[in-house]
C-alpha cells in the first residue's frame, strides 16, 4: 500500500520563486547583470586587440577623467566623417560631449531634451555643493560616542564587487559613490528623450550614432548614454498610389517604422498586440518589426516567421522586397506568396485574422503572411459596401482574370488550329478581316501585346496625371494606325485591348504582373499545339498553385485542400455578421 504524499511537503503553487529558481525575476536580473559585465569585458578585449588609441585604458576611467580620450575613441570607431558633430558643453560642475550625425538628429531636440535638463541639474548640484554661510563643518565636530578617536574603517577584503556595475560604484559600506549618483541623476533628467540606453562600450556607442541616435558623455559618469533624437524629413501618411479605393480610409503606410507602428496601434487598441524588433543587414542595420496578436495568431506561425527573419544573413536590406524573398524560401514561385500592401486597413484586417505582419524601416509596404490566391483578388472596397455589391464586383474580377490570362491563347488556338469550333458567321468575318495580313496571327498578337505592355510600363513612370492616359490611349492610337496601315488585322487590336482592360480589374499589381507573364507562355503553347497546348498550360499552372504554400499554409485554400464551409465565402463576399474565426489561417 503506497503512502499518500504529505501535503505539507509538496511545493505550493502560489509560493514565491526562490533565488535558485531559473524563472524567478531575481535570477533573470542577475543573469542580465552578469551578461552586461561579460559583454563589457569582451568589448574591452576587442578594443585592445584592434589597437584602438588608448585602448589599454579602462573605458570607465577614460570616460570619467578625460573627455578628449572619449572623443578619440568614438572618432576611431565612427571613422573620419565630416557630418559627425562633436558638441562639447560645460554647465558649472558638469562637462561633457554630445555626438550625433548632422541632418539625422534634430539639434533643437537635443538642446531642449538633453542640454537644458543638464543645465538645470548643474544648477541644482552647484547650489547643493555650496555650504551656507557660517555653517560648521560636520567633520570638524567632536567624534561620535560610538567611535573612539583614531578609529579607522576596516580594510576592504579584496574580491569581486557585489552587485555588478552598481556594486562596483559603491564603497565598502554600500552607499552609492558620487559618480553613481550623478549617473542616476543624468538618466532621470533626460526622461523626455526616447530609447535612452546606457553602455560602457565605445564601439556600441559609435554604432548607435551611425544608426541615427545621439551619444552623451559626461565627465565623472562611467556610462555613455545613447538616446533617440531623429530629425530626418518624414512623409505624412496619404492615400496609397497602388491601391486606390472608392470608399474607405485614405491612409497608407510611410517610410518610418515608428510611424507605421503608431498607425497600427490606432487601428488595433488591444493589449494582446505584440511587436518584436530586430536589425538586419551587416552594413545597413535596417530595423525590422514583426507584429501579431498573441491570442489570435497561431504560435507555430509566429515562431516560423521569427526564425526565418533571424536566419537572414545579408550585407544590406534596402526594402521589404529583400525580406520577401527570404520569407518565401529558396524554392520560390512566380506567384506572390507574401502579400505586400500600403494600406493600413488591410494590415489591421490581416492581424485580426491571425496573420503575421512584417514591417521594414524605409519601406512603405507591409508584408503579411500566410496569404492565398483567393485573398489576392479581394479589395477593401468589397467590405465597405453591402455584400450584394461586393459579391458582384468579386465575380467580375474572376471573369477579368480568365480573360486576361486565356483569351489571347484561345484566339490563337481557334484561328490557327480549330476554326471548325468557331461559329460560321464569326469564322467568315474573322477570315475576311485577316485577308492580306502580312504575318501569322500568333506573331501579330505577340507584337501588339508587347507594345501594349510597353505603353503600360511607360505610363507607370510618367506623372500620375498623364501616365494612365498615355498608357491606354497611346496603345489604342498605335493599334488603330497599325490596322489602317495593314500591318496587323483589326481583330488582333480587339483581342489585345480586351485583354489589357480585363487585366486592370486585378486589384493586386504583383499578381496581375504574374498573369501577364504567364499570358505569353500560353500564347506560345497555343501557337504550337492548339487547344491541347492551352489546356496543358492551364493544368501546369493549376498543379503549381496546388503545390505552393505560404508560410506552411496551402496557397489555394479553400479550394485545395477543400474546405466546404469557406467555399461560398471565397466566391462571394460574406456579410459581416457571418465572419468568424473560420477566416483565420
Q: Give bridge partners of residue 343 from the DSSP assignment.
A: 252
| Higher pLDDT, residue 88 or 581 | 88
| Higher pLDDT, residue 290 or 71 | 290
Q: What is the pLDDT of residue 131?
A: 52
Q: pTM for this one? A: 0.73
pLDDT at 315 over 80: yes
| Higher pLDDT, residue 145 or 330 | 330
pLDDT at 536 over 90: yes
Residue pLDDT, tens place only, 224-233: 888 887 777 7
Mean pLDDT on 544-550: 89
3-state secondary structure of 176: strand
In the Cβ-directed half-sphere of 271, how many Cα atoms lie within 13 Å? Answer: 0
pLDDT at 50 over 60: no
Band of pLDDT at residue 296, cut at 50, 70 and 90: very high
| Higher pLDDT, residue 152 or 335 | 335
Q: Please enumerate in sequence order all residues whose Cβ is within 8 A of that of 222, keeping only pairs 6 or more positions apart, or say none.
A: 60, 63, 64, 165, 169, 179, 183, 200
Q: What is the pLDDT of residue 427?
A: 82
| Higher pLDDT, residue 103 or 24 | 103
pLDDT at 318 over 70: yes
φ, ψ of residue 95 in degrees (nearest 5)? -135, 140
The phi-psi region of residue 552 (left if phi > 0; otherwise alpha if psi is between -120 and 50; otherwise beta) is left
Q: What is the pLDDT of residue 408?
A: 93
Q: Find which of 47-51, 70-74, 172-176 is predicted with most confidence, using mean pLDDT.
A: 70-74
**Mean pLDDT, all residues of the chain:** 78
Band of pLDDT at residue 8, cut at 50, 70 and 90: very low
Residue 359: in which H helix or E strand, if any? strand 356-360
Q: What is the pLDDT of residue 191?
A: 66
Q: How far is CA 10 from CA 4, 16, 17, 22, 248, in A?
A: 11, 14, 15, 19, 60
Q: What is the pLDDT of residue 161?
A: 44
Band of pLDDT at residue 368, cut at 50, 70 and 90: very high
pLDDT at 449 over 50: yes
Residue pLDDT, tens place only, 193-224: 777 888 888 999 999 998 888 898 888 787 88
| Domain extents in the chain | 25-126+176-228, 257-369, 385-583
pLDDT at 145 over 50: no
Q: Please enumerate in sequence order all residues whose Cβ is within 8 A of that of 481, keeping only pairs 6 or more positions apart, or say none.
A: none
Please choose, from the candidates 516, 540, 386, the residue with its C-alpha nearest in 3D space to the C-alpha of residue 449.
516
pLDDT at 62 over 70: no
Pairwise CA distance, residues 320 & 312, whole Å: 13
Q: What is the pLDDT of residue 174?
A: 52
Band of pLDDT at residue 527, cut at 50, 70 and 90: very high
Mean pLDDT on 104-117: 82
Band of pLDDT at residue 178, cut at 50, 70 and 90: low
The phi-psi region of residue 92 (left if phi > 0; otherwise alpha if psi is between -120 and 50; otherwise beta) is left
Among 63-72, 209-218, 414-423, 437-446, the minimum mean pLDDT is found in: 63-72
Q: What is the pLDDT of residue 200?
A: 86
Query: How would DSSP label each residue in 217-257?
Result: EETT-SSEEEEE-B-S--PPP---SSS--SSS---B--S-H
pLDDT at 71 over 60: yes
Band of pLDDT at residue 301, cut at 50, 70 and 90: very high
pLDDT > 90: percent of the chain: 23
The phi-psi region of residue 405 (left if phi > 0; otherwise alpha if psi is between -120 and 50; otherwise beta) is alpha
Band of pLDDT at residue 275, cut at 50, 70 and 90: very high
Amino acid at each position: 500500500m503506497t503512502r499518500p504524499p504529505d501535503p505539507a511537503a509538496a511545493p505550493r503553487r502560489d509560493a514565491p520563486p526562490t533565488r535558485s529558481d531559473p524563472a524567478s525575476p531575481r535570477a533573470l536580473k542577475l543573469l542580465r547583470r552578469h551578461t552586461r559585465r561579460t559583454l563589457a569585458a569582451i568589448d574591452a578585449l576587442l578594443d585592445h586587440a584592434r589597437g584602438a588609441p588608448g585602448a589599454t585604458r579602462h573605458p570607465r576611467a577614460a570616460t570619467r577623467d578625460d573627455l578628449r580620450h572619449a572623443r578619440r575613441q568614438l572618432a576611431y570607431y565612427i571613422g573620419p566623417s565630416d557630418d559627425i558633430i562633436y558638441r562639447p558643453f560645460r554647465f558649472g560642475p558638469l562637462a561633457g560631449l554630445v555626438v550625433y550625425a548632422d541632418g539625422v538628429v534634430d539639434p533643437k531636440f537635443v538642446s531642449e531634451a538633453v542640454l537644458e535638463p543638464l543645465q538645470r541639474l548643474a544648477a541644482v548640484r552647484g547650489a547643493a555643493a555650496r555650504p551656507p554661510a557660517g555653517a560648521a563643518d560636520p567633520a570638524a565636530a567632536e567624534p561620535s560616542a560610538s567611535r573612539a578617536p583614531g578609529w579607522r574603517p576596516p580594510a576592504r577584503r579584496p574580491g569581486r564587487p557585489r552587485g555588478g556595475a552598481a556594486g562596483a560604484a559603491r564603497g565598502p559600506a554600500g552607499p552609492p559613490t558620487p559618480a553613481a549618483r550623478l549617473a542616476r541623476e543624468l538618466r532621470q533628467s533626460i526622461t523626455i528623450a526616447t530609447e535612452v540606453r546606457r553602455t560602457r562600450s565605445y564601439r556600441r556607442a559609435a554604432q548607435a550614432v551611425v544608426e541615427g541616435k545621439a551619444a552623451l558623455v559626461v565627465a565623472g559618469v562611467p556610462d555613455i548614454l545613447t538616446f533617440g533624437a531623429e530629425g530626418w524629413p518624414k512623409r505624412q501618411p496619404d492615400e496609397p498610389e497602388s491601391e486606390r479605393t472608392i470608399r474607405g480610409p485614405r491612409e497608407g503606410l510611410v517610410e518610418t517604422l515608428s510611424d507605421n507602428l503608431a498607425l497600427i496601434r490606432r487601428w488595433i487598441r488591444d493589449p494582446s498586440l505584440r511587436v518584436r524588433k530586430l536589425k538586419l543587414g551587416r552594413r545597413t542595420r535596417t530595423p525590422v518589426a514583426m507584429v501579431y496578436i498573441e491570442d489570435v495568431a497561431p504560435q507555430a506561425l509566429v515562431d516560423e516567421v521569427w526564425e526565418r527573419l533571424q536566419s537572414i544573413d545579408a550585407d544590406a536590406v534596402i526594402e521589404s522586397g529583400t525580406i520577401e524573398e527570404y520569407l518565401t524560401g529558396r524554392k520560390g514561385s512566380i506567384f506572390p506568396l507574401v502579400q505586400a500592401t500600403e494600406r493600413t486597413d488591410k494590415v489591421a484586417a490581416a492581424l485580426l485574422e491571425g496573420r503575421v505582419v512584417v514591417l521594414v524601416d524605409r519601406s512603405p509596404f507591409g508584408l503579411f503572411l500566410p496569404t492565398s490566391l483567393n485573398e489576392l483578388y479581394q479589395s477593401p472596397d468589397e467590405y465597405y459596401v453591402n455584400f450584394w455589391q461586393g459579391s458582384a464586383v468579386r465575380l467580375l474580377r474572376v471573369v477579368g482574370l480568365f480573360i486576361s490570362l486565356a483569351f489571347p491563347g484561345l484566339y490563337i488556338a481557334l484561328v490557327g488550329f480549330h476554326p471548325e469550333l468557331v461559329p460560321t458567321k464569326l469564322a467568315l468575318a474573322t477570315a475576311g478581316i485577316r485577308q492580306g495580313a502580312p504575318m501569322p496571327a500568333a506573331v501579330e498578337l505577340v507584337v501588339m501585346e508587347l507594345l501594349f505592355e510597353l505603353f503600360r510600363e511607360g505610363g507607370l513612370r510618367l506623372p500620375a496625371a498623364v501616365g494612365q492616359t498615355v498608357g491606354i490611349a497611346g496603345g489604342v492610337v498605335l493599334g488603330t494606325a497599325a490596322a489602317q496601315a495593314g500591318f496587323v488585322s483589326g481583330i488582333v487590336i480587339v483581342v489585345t485591348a480586351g485583354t489589357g482592360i480585363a487585366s486592370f480589374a486585378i486589384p493586386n499589381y504583383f499578381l496581375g504582373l504574374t498573369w501577364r507573364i504567364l499570358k505569353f507562355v500560353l500564347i506560345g503553347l497555343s501557337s504550337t499545339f492548339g487547344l491541347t497546348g492551352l489546356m496543358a498550360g492551364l493544368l501546369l499552372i493549376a498543379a503549381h498553385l496546388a503545390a505552393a504554400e505560404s508560410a506552411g499554409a496551402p496557397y489555394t485554400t479553400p479550394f485545395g485542400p477543400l474546405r466546404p464551409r469557406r467555399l461560398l465565402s471565397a466566391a462571394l463576399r460574406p456579410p459581416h455578421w457571418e465572419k468568424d474565426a473560420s477566416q483565420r489561417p
